[in-house]
Amino acid sequence: MKRILTILCALCAIITTGSSKTLLAYYSYTGNARAIVTELTNQISADVVEIQPAEKGLHYEANNYALGTQLLNAIKANPNDAASYPAIDPVNVSLSEYSTVIIVTPLWWSQMAAIMQSYLFQVGTDLAGKNVGLIVTSASSSISGVVADFKRLVPDANYLSEDLWINNSNRANMPTLVANWVEACGLNQNDNTAMSINVIVGTKTFTATLADSETGRAFAQLLPMTVTMNELNGNEKYHYLGSSLPTDSYRPGTIHAGDLMLYGNNCVVLFYETFSSSYSYTRLGSIDDPSGLAEALGTGNVSVRFEAGSTTNNLSPTLPSREGGKFLRNGQVYIRYKGQMYNVQGKQIK
């Protein structure tokens, strides 16, 4: 009995700690769906896979869309037969790594483009139980037929609360529509809950954003802590923790003032200068705005307190609101507000 319970607990742990990654799977014939995917990747963290027809150089729109029509008619005539679907290139993505999959597809004759239907015919059952979203681009036709194809091909998914329809009359507004959709579907939740901490040196408090990673989360578990950090090389302060943290090290190449790194598995390093480095580190996070950091840390060993901070943006008075979500990308802290990205000084990046 005890053994069965242990196995059950282990299974529960696997299920509850499952991946939270997002995949964007798209097909695009003339580039509109691709542009949506590019915008999405500016707004959320996601992997991207492009679905491509096996036969290249076809003109689906030629002769009054004859080929596109022919492909769709074949599917319609026999939707349960794999032979009805146009061949696509192999898609080397393991869907088990993803909890959310977003399908971005053109509309063809009020249906889902045949190439995307081929992909979903192959993987629809693997998407069961996952969060699955649909974005459709058309010239003008409404998307109910594409939604019906989507639900036929992906029958048992947790559909995101809204579909998104981009067409020629709202395309100029696409980034904002994508941002509103991302928000409505709760896809930016991870970013908005990025862990904020306070790094207190003497009388100065710096806010920092921890990496949304195993290492960042493990470091957060240790807080609050006040430690003596030792001076090294005129560019860093370091402290050896009493226990080790999970690592995922890489060579950043350039170290930036404000980088909070883990050297090995237990040495916390706070950099206060920007310089090139050949060493490997695991990122713990970054000080949001490192101005004044070098002065505060001084030239010798120094006492530094790390404690949990607020999750809301209180960084820049020039932002239109202080409610935007903070997130960390490529080691830099950004703030998202109404679909736009700002740096910590409040300058709009996108």
Of 176, 222, 170, the closest CA to residue 195 belongs to 222
Measured in whole angstroms, how far is the alpha carbon of residue 50 from the centre of its chain?
17
User: Within positions 121 to 140, which residues make up the interface with ligand FMN, using CB under 6 A?
Assistant: 137-140
Residue 108 binding ligand FMN, by CB under 6 A:
yes
Q: Which of 7, 9, 31, 347 binds ligand FMN (CB under 6 A)?
A: 31
> Tokens standing for 159?
């559909």
Q: Which of 25, 37, 101, 107 binds ligand FMN (CB under 6 A)?
A: 107
Pairing type for strands 196-201 and 204-210 reads antiparallel
Q: Which of 52, 110, 230, 265 binds ligand FMN (CB under 6 A)?
A: 110
Q: Which of 106, 216, 290, 325 binds ligand FMN (CB under 6 A)?
A: 106
Nearer to ligand FMN, 113 or 270 (CB): 113
Number of residues that bind ligand FMN (CB under 6 A): 20
Which residues are CB-neighbours of 70 under 8 A, at least 6 positions away?
none
Residue in the shown chain whose Cβ atom is closest to ligand FMN: 68
Residue 32 binding ligand FMN, by CB under 6 A:
yes
Binding mask 50-89 for ligand FMN (x = CB under 6 A): ----------xx---x--x---------------------
Distance of closest approach, residue 151 Cβ to ligand FMN, in angstroms: 19
Q: Which of 38, 141, 235, 301 binds ligand FMN (CB under 6 A)?
A: 141
Measured in whole angstroms, how far is the alpha carbon of residue 297 from the centre of its chain?
33
Q: Which long-range contacts (CB under 8 A, 24 or more apart) does 184-187 make?
A: 185/133, 185/160, 185/161, 186/161, 187/22, 187/44, 187/100, 187/133, 187/160
| CA distance readout (Å), 258 to 232, 251, 311 | 15, 16, 19
Cis peptide bond N-terminal to 155, omega within 30: no
Residue 159 binding ligand FMN, by CB under 6 A:
no
The residue ranges that bind ligand FMN (CB under 6 A) are 28-33, 60-61, 65, 68, 106-110, 137-141
